[in-house]
Amino acid sequence: MRRRLACLLFACLTLAPARLVRAQTFPTPDSVIRRIWQESMERSQVERLAQVLMDSIGPRLSGSPGFQAAGDWLVRTYEAWGVAARPERYGTWRGWRQGPAHVDLVAPRVQGLEARLLAWSPATAGTVEGDVVAPPETLGPGEAERWLAGVRGKWVLWSAPEPMCRAPQELERYARPETVQRIAAERRAMDDAWTRRLVALGGRALAGRLETAGAAGVLTSSWSDGWGVNKVFAAPTRAIPAVDLSCEDYGLLARLTERGQGARVRVSAESADLGEVPMFNVIAELTGTALPNEFVVLSAHLDSWHGATGATDNGTGTTTMLEAMRILRAVYPRPRRTILVGHWGGEEQGLIGSGAFAEDHPEVLDGMQALFNQDNGTWRVEYLEAQGFARAGDHLGRWMGLVPLEISRYVQQDFPGPQSNPGSDHSSFVCRGVPAFRLQSSYPEYRQYTWHTNRDTYDKIVFDDLRNNATLAAMLAYAASEDPERVPRDRVVLPIDPRTGRPRNWATCGTPRRASR
């Protein structure tokens, strides 16, 4: 009896919202929603797909062989499922292949250091050993030129060192308040002092001056406020190598150098400049049967930074939309509206791929019903806002009403919404007045530990949540496709910006940069 009552309660909780919405607007949606759920829960491919993308293909830096390999794999995967897919070129980018990088402290003692070659960095000429130097604290007249003349063959510390590499939330929990305040003040003072040093040596021109002076290379560190985790971005140099070191390894070199204790390193780093190479989006499509010129778009960027494997930025979003399309092909192969998926290139360089697609396809923008973008981490989707579109919430609310409570009860719905978090590919469409929505997951831990870091790897993925997100994306795409009405595009006045005391400005569109040079 208990089991029968539990089953009845589960059925009511799961299907009641769908029945309510069907009675209001939708033609017999329940069977499709149930089949989406069944396909996702019983035959999920998210682990298999994510493993290939992160482990076998790996980092997908724009212009790298890894990005090309990922695009080729997506097209093959879609075609194997019977989904039409194509790479769509939008421009070029600086081609670069990274190889192994190894850094050792060799004096005053020997220790291996944790290192990553920064993106688009030149290689070393074999193994290069040299002293470590830091920008001087003070410079009198003419001293900048004398210091630069002495850097030939040496490795230059580029970043301000950190006074402590302990995660701040732990410091705040366990240390005395005065200790927290002292370390924060020390960090500010070190950052300010280091900035003054760099400005005195040439500021933005410093990289070129070091190259001309014959420096062996630069050493950097961009700590991400967590245990063993750094942000790893692009090299500040073009002619000499640039290497990122972990927070404490960099701090070790800085302390040895500042105290005159003879820091010396041995560096071996391989890379290849491939020139300008084609860049592209991957577009897959299920053609609509009734309204083929109206579109529902699933959206996620394919590119990543290269310090790890780009698992949560944005391998999880890529896998979410890939799996959602697989599910739709299996249970809803003849949609009312055309369903597209866009796997964008160049997001990390400024929303380039999605912006170029929006520029190149006015017919898709004109016919857009809705776009759903996912681009932040492994956790389940927990927030959905209408991005400032005044009446989009009527539709989003009805579509979410179809979604089983196992998923929807975790999603905060905010209509019409403040148009927060604009820094992802949905913004390429919102700025053009097109209803585009962000399927947003939890931010704080993602920002600290995996976003753009050397720890953004397969082991961080929570597959229960990834399966949840793919199911939600498939259900929303189905609901948007079947909705008999178009989503209105009228806009609200956005909330007050506390910095200005005036309403926030609506998102504006930039011009996508279609080449790196």
Which domains are delineated in the chain?
20-95+276-503 (3.40.630.10), 109-262 (3.50.30)
HSE-CB at 115 with a 13 A cutoff on CA atoms is 25
25 burial level (CB within 10 Å; 0-12, 13-18, 19+)? middle
Distance in angstroms (rounded) separating the CA atoms of residues 292 and 140: 70
Which pLDDT belongs to residue 244?
98
Across 146-151, average pLDDT? 96
The reported pTM is 0.93
Q: Is 83 strand, coil or helix?
A: coil
Q: Which position has the higher pLDDT, 11 or 229?
A: 229
Distance in angstroms (rounded) separating the CA atoms of residues 446 and 481: 32
pLDDT at 403 over 70: yes
pLDDT at 15 over 60: no
HSE-CB at 297 with a 13 A cutoff on CA atoms is 33
CB-based contacts of 205, cutoff 8 Å, min separation 6: none
Closest CA to 379 of 311, 334, 442: 442
CB 130 within 8 A of CB 104: no
Distance in angstroms (rounded) separating the CA atoms of residues 34 and 337: 20
Which pLDDT belongs to residue 3?
43
pLDDT at 9 over 90: no
Distance in angstroms (rounded) separating the CA atoms of residues 59 and 311: 9
Start-to-end CA span in the chain (Å): 71
What is the residue whose two structure tokens read 């975790």?
A: 410
pLDDT at 517 over 90: no
Distance in angstroms (rounded) separating the CA atoms of residues 341 and 361: 14
Range list of H helices, 245-315: 247-258
User: Residue 290 corresponds to which amino acid?
Assistant: A
Distance in angstroms (rounded) separating the CA atoms of residues 155 and 243: 10
What is the residue whose two structure tokens read 């002495």?
A: 150
Per the prediction, the chain carries an average pLDDT of: 94
Cβ atoms within 10 Å, residue 23: 8
Closest CA to 324 of 482, 475, 474, 481: 474
Both tokens of 218, joined, read 């630069």
Both tokens of 231, joined, read 């942000």
Distance in angstroms (rounded) separating the CA atoms of residues 319 and 399: 22
**Cis amide bond preceding 108, omega within 30:** yes
Pairing outcome for strands 111-113 and 84-107: antiparallel
Confidence category of residue 138, pLDDT binned at 50, 70, 90 = confident
CB 41 within 8 A of CB 468: no
Note the pLDDT tens digit of each residue in 445-502. 999 999 999 999 999 999 999 999 999 999 999 999 999 999 999 999 999 988 899 9
Confidence category of residue 29, pLDDT binned at 50, 70, 90 = low
Note the pLDDT tens digit of each residue in 353-370. 999 999 999 999 999 999
Note the pLDDT tens digit of each residue in 298-338. 999 999 999 999 999 999 999 999 999 999 999 999 999 99
> How big is the CA angle at 95 (ends 93 and 96), to the nearest 5 degrees?
140
What is the residue whose two structure tokens read 């697609």?
A: 357
pLDDT at 259 over 70: yes
pLDDT at 4 over 90: no
